[in-house]
Every structure is written in C-alpha cells, then in structure tokens.
Chain A
Amino acid sequence: MENVLRDISSAIRDLGGSEKLEGLINEALSRNIAASDIVERGLRVGLEEVGAKYEACEYFLSELLFGASMMDGAMRILRPKLKKEAIEKKGTILVGTVRGDMHDIGKNIFRILAEGAGFEVTDLNVDVDPDVFMKETRDIRPEVLGLSCLLTTALPEIEKVISMLTEGKLRGGLKVLIGGNAVTKEFGQEVGADAAALDAVQGVDLCKGWVKP
C-alpha cells in the first residue's frame, strides 16, 4: 500500500504527467486502497512537495500549475468515491479580489492549491463589495477569509473590509489572510490582517497552520 501511495506522491512531485498518475491511482484502487488515503497520503503529499519546491525556487509558476492540474485530474476520478467515504474537509476558506480590482490570476492559483490541500473554498470572484464579504462571512462562517489585491489604489478596500469585520464582531475565530502584488507584510500589520502571503503557496501554508484538524 505504502509503495503505490509513495509513487503517487512522487508522480505529482516530479510532474510525471496525468496519464502516469491516473495509472497509479487505478492501481491503488484495484488494491482496494481507500480513495481518502490516496488523496491524503498520495496526492496531497505530492502537491505539498511541489509547493515546497516552488518556495525553494526549484519550481516556478508553470510547475506549480501543472502539479495542481495533475491533482485536479486525479480528483475527478476519485471524487465520486470520496463522496461515499465522506472525507473530512480541512476547513473552509472564503476568498475574493477586493472592490475596484479585477485581477484574478493569483487568487485563482491560491484557490486551486487550497482545494488541492483539502480546504473547501468559496470564491467570490473579483471586484467584491465589502458588504458581500460581510454577508458571505456571516453565512458561510469560514475559518479563513482571503482578500486579494493587486492594485495599490484598491488597498484601502482591504482595510475597509477588516474594520467592517471587526465592527460586525466577525473576527472571532476568523483569520484574515491578505495577498496579491500590492500587499506587503507591513501593510498587513498596519490594517490588522492576521497575515500577508507573498505568494499562493505561502498563503495555503498559513491556512494549514491555522486550521488544524
């Protein structure tokens, strides 16, 4: 059992391609390995290693995205089986790009990686009104709210959302993560975010640290 799971994680880590990965997943399933084990002990380990290589500058965006795309393909095979096994989600993340900013690439990469890491992610898309962040935070009660911002002109929106959350008494149990090109750690501290992520991998790592099963 361990060998095939290790091969699965290696296939992702070494970017071996979807065909190879699917073959290994089918092999694991034929050996009656639970889909949840394949995900937790194979795929996610591999994707984490891709993230670590990205942070170490051994991999770049292309490799990160391909690793996530391999994971996504594998999940399409496993998802029907996971429903039956009722796999436990790591936690819930609400994410969106702040009002006045239409950029989405960084946010989308974060979403893909966070989903790959086992989080349930609700993506509010771009140009999100602070009231929408508030409403969805109240409704969904996520563990993490991710605010993305590329434009310096839109940075005040982050501050606005955070102060509305505080006024609305929604900060208890909620971590606010900010990210995007305009964001710096200093800015994060100034506006009262729990953390500022300099890239998507760092963002997901922070979420994992906050939301422990």
Chain B
Amino acid sequence: MTARERIRNAMDFKDVDAIPWVESFYEETLMKFFSEGLPANEIAVVEWVMSQDGLQILNWPKFMGFDPYSYFGCSTFWGRVVPVDIGPIPRFKQRKISENARHEEYIMETGARSRRLKKGVTKTTWYTMPQFYEFPVKDKKSWEQYKVRLNPEDPRRYPKDWEEDGYLQFLDEYEKGPVMLSITGFYAFGAELMGIPNFNVAFYKDPELVEDMLSHWEYFTIESVRQAVETLKDRIDMVFWWEDMAEKHGPNISPKLYREFLLPHYKKAIGFLNNNKICRIMMDSDGNTQAILDLAIEAGITGHWPLEVNSGMDVRSLRKRYGKKLFLAGNFDKREIAKGGEAMRKEIDSKLPLMKETGGYVAGLDHLVHVEFTLDRFREYAAYLKQKLIVE
C-alpha cells in the first residue's frame, strides 16, 4: 500500500496495512534540526528545470527545498497541492515601512500591516507570528476596493505550465501522500482580511458587509478552483479547509452565527466539490471547535486536524461522539511527545490503540513540529510510532 492509498483509505474508514502518519514542520524546527545533525544533503530536493526560472533556455538543476518527510518516514498534507492561486491579484507589494533595533514593520502581500521580530534578536525568528496591527478591509468601501483583487477569472491564478494531460499524469504518479486542494475557509478569509476582533464584531455590527464578503468568497472559491476540480475530480484526494476559527475556550464565532452566516456558503462550496467526486473535506482549526462540530459536519466537513490537546480536544471522546462521521488527524500532545521517553510512549499508547481499532485516523502531533523538539527526540518519536502504526 502506498502512503497515498493508506491516507485515502484511512480517511474513508477502510482497511489499511498501517495507520498513516502525517506531520508538518516549522521552517525553524528544521533549521534547528540541521544544527543538531539532520543531514541537509540527504533531504534536499533538487530538480531539473529551466535555468533561472526561464530566463535562460537551458536545463539546470534547481534547489527546491527540503523533504524531511521521506527521511523520517511520514507524509505531509502539503506534498502535492493543486496549484490554484487564491490570493489577491495583484498582490500588495511587500515592503518594509520602518524598523528599530528589535522590530521591523511591513506591508504584507495580503495588504495587512505587521510588526515582526528582526532576525537574531531572539533564539527564534519566524516561529512567532508577526503582530498584525492594521488590516486591508475595514468597511464596505475598503472591501469593494479589495474585491477587485479577488477576480476568479484572472489567468494568473493557474501556473503558466498548467496543462490538463500533464497534470493528470503528474498527480496519478504521486505516491508519497495525498493530492490536496487547499481552500481558505469562510471564517479564516474574513479574519485574515479584517483581523479577528473586527471580523467577529462585524457579524453583529455590519451583517450586510459580512454577508457580501462571504457570498463573494463562495463565488470566488468555486470559480477559482472550478477548472482544476472539474478536470482532476477524485484525483484530488482531500480538501484542506483552513479555518483556524477557535481558541482554547471554544469557537471564535457562536454556533448561531455559524448557522446563519457560514453554513449556507459551506453547503454550496462543498456541494460543488462533492458533485465532482471530491468527498474528503478536512477542516484545519486550532483551538476547541467542539461547539460547532455538529454544524461543520452538516456543512459537509468529513475530517478534522490537528485537534489541540491543550484546548481540550481528544480523539477518544470525538470518536465516541461522532463515530464514522468524522475522520480524525493529529491529537498527539506535542508537549508530551517532545519530552520523549515514557511521556512520549504513554501519550501514543493512550490514543493509538482505539484509533487503530476504529479506523478513520491519521496519526500525528496536535500541531506543527515545534522548535522545542530536539532532533533526537523527534527520531525517538518516529521510531516508536512507526512500529506501533502497523496493523496486524
């Protein structure tokens, strides 16, 4: 069974020879691992492409990044992603606005303004998110201006070499993990453009604006991905539906608002995907999402990742409550796993047996591999987990 088949089967609650294992690394974790002995030459990905991105008619090997996943024996949801650009086009030009000894302020490509740490002022530079202090959408007028950049018909949304037959073959041959379509969800999109507090308040203060934003996002999402979806259909193994719509206490918006504002748009967008045989729809949200999970399932969500333990998420109770309605991914407490030894083994052993028995599970941490992992501890975790994943 290939890793891709294994993940597909797991998400469908079908038999697997081993529980699939998926992780995501922070860039800074990998950099730390390099300093601890991870061999960069063994995980470097180099491919023959047109030299200098096509500036010379010459084939030349190009450094494409790193593949730590194959090295450790896991997969990533991001191994093969359907290449549709759903960002603002044209992008806002990223530029530095100001700096002091410790911070730099930027206009980001989404149009937000942020303050971030300068490289070298702390042990980690990119691990902490920037502080976003101004957002591009503030009201109806700024939304109308922004909307112009969200035109699904813009030909730049697909790569220059997008060619249906080529992509079909390219995707058919991929085995290391799922072929994934990434969608920015209705909450995440609004929060990204307005900021979480402003967007949350707008549901009450300016519901017409919120509805217009969500309606446009539904239209924009469906029409942007239409060509890829209608061409690739079930070659797309899963949809990674990014929402990040919860905190420790619960979801950022109430079930009432979810039902009133989000649910109709979810149903239309997911209905479009389902009509094209794309049926594995996994919601990515940190925090405690439990209060909206019934609605998410009604909306068409079929899986959930990463199930943060610190926020009260637990695969055992979720499985009991939802059975086969929801495949589950993640939920190994990153803090316990990073401790290694008995704490790591106990965390895995407390959850994996039930998930092996009931199926519908993709193993992994309850978030990205964070910088407090040492390479040795991650290797220890990988070695222990891999032998436990095998289904007898």
Contacts and interface: CB of A to CB of B under 8 A. Distances in A.
B48 to A, nearest CB: 39
B200 A66 contact: yes
A62 B201 contact: yes
Contacts of B117: 100, 102, 127
A99 B122 contact: yes
Interface stretch (B1-9, B10-18, B142-150, B249-257): B249-257
Interface stretch (A3-11, A33-41, A103-111, A134-142): A103-111
B115 interface: yes
B248 A105 contact: no
A41 to B, nearest CB: 24
B128 A62 contact: no
A29 interface: no
Contacts of A62: 200-201, 203-204, 252-254, 257
Given A102-B115, A127-B103, A153-B123, A181 B130 contact: no
A69 B115 contact: no
Interface of A is mostly: loop
A69 B128 contact: no
A211 interface: no
Interface in B337-380: 370-372
Contacts of B249: 54, 57, 60-61, 198-199
Interface residues of B, number: 37
Nearest to A99: B122
A152 interface: yes
Interface in A34-89: 54, 57, 59-63, 65-66, 69
Contacts of B124: 100, 153
A152 B131 contact: no
Contact of A102 (B129, B196, B200, B205): B129
A17 interface: yes
Contact of B128 (A59, A101, A181, A198): A101
B197 A105 contact: yes
A206 B118 CA distance: 35
Given A102-B116, A127-B117, A61 B122 contact: no
A184 to B, nearest CB: 8
Contact of A65 (B129, B197, B250): B197
Interface string B106-123: 000000000111000011
27 contacts: A57-B249, A57-B250, A60-B250, A60-B253, A61-B196, A61-B252, A62-B201, A62-B203, A65-B197, A66-B201, A66-B203, A66-B204, A69-B201, A69-B205, A100-B117, A100-B122, A101-B128, A102-B128, A103-B129, A126-B131, A127-B103, A151-B128, A153-B127, A153-B370, A153-B372, A184-B310, A199-B248
Interface of A: 15, 17-18, 54, 57, 59-63, 65-66, 69, 99-106, 108-109, 125-127, 151-154, 181, 184, 198-199
Given A62-B204, A65-B200, A66-B201, 4 more contacts: A61-B250, A65-B201, A66-B200, A69-B201
